[in-house]
Amino acid sequence: MKYAQIVIGPAGCGKSTYCSTIQKHGEAANRTIEVVNLDPAAEYFDYSASGDIRDLISVDDVMEDEDLKLGPNGGLVFCMQYMVENQEWLNDLVNCPGEDDYIVFDCPGQIELYTHLTVMKDFVRLLQQWKFQVCIVYVMDSHFVVDIPSYIAGMLTTLSVMMNLDVPHVSILSKIDLLSASSRNKVEQFLDPSERGLSELIDPNPWMEKHTKLMKKIAKIVDDYGFVHFMPLNITDETSITEALTFIDIRCLQFGEDEDVKTIDPPDPVDDE
């Protein structure tokens, strides 16, 4: 069986660090986790890459091409499209030897690749055609979700990626080790709002009544459907890494013959008010 984690999220959120963390964690457990760099503008990562898009094409090459006349963003989109069109190269890249091929793809940060362009969707479909179980790992810097409005904004971004790519999905909250104790408490409260629900954590704001009402409604929908699953990841804590990887393996990829395989429960139907 073949498994693929597609690691996405804004620039600097910790995608490459996540890839390197789980590769090292895998090594310690005698498990091979291949990491492939798909960021054509990558400057630094410290995992051992079993493949690299820059061997095929890089943003600098594209930007230097006088016929194309592309800037950094257009150049990046061009590189991704070029990769998806070069199916033979891509197929060689993902055909690594081994009983279970488990590949983690470290992707670029440009959100438009995942929300409205079709190139990553095409990439996902190709992997599925090649019999990969695919999931999306959306990495989000936990510093940006320590208050309810930004937590909900993050959730909506995740949701739009989820709807566009249409594969199992988890959101990893990175850099937990850098949060202050009080911010950590807040994030924990959002992740586990208990019986009160996320919508009840939103304080009324008389200056922004309409805005608060809208946020509560969105939070209620998120509460009712349990659409987005956030996993905090503290890279300095092996238990936290194990929990995140186990969740992805079992709930998103159904990886591991000896594991008690579970599927994500479909959301309960919610009556319209």
Ligand X SMILES: Nc1nc2c(ncn2[C@@H]2O[C@H](COP(=O)(O)OP(=O)(O)O)[C@@H](O)[C@H]2O)c(=O)[nH]1
Binding residues for Mg ion (CB under 5 A): 15-16
- Rounded to a whole number of angstroms, the minimum distance from the CB of residue 126 to ligand X is 23
Round to whole Å and give the CA distance between 114 and 160. 8
**In terms of CB distance, is 85 or 177 closer to ligand X?**
177
Do 171 and 145 meet the contact criterion of CB atoms below 8 Å apart?
Answer: no
Q: Tally helices (H) and strands (E) across the chain.
A: 10, 7
14 binds ligand X (CB under 6 A): yes
235 binds ligand X (CB under 6 A): yes
Round to whole Å and give the CA distance between 70 and 76. 9
Do 177 and 236 meet the contact criterion of CB atoms below 8 Å apart?
Answer: yes
> Which listed range, 12-20, 51-59, 158-166, 221-229, lies at the site for ligand X (CB under 6 A)?
12-20
199 binds ligand X (CB under 6 A): no
Round to whole Å and give the CA distance between 52 and 75. 17
Rounded to the nearest angstrom, the gap between the alpha carbon of residue 89 and the centroid of all alpha carbons in its chain is: 24
103: β partners: 4, 34
54 binds ligand X (CB under 6 A): no
Q: Which residue is nearest to ligand X (CB)?
A: 14
- Rounded to a whole number of angstroms, the minimum distance from the CB of residue 210 to Mg ion is 39
- Rounded to a whole number of angstroms, the minimum distance from the CB of residue 220 to ligand X is 31
Residues that bind ligand X (CB under 6 A): 9, 11-17, 109, 174-175, 177-178, 235
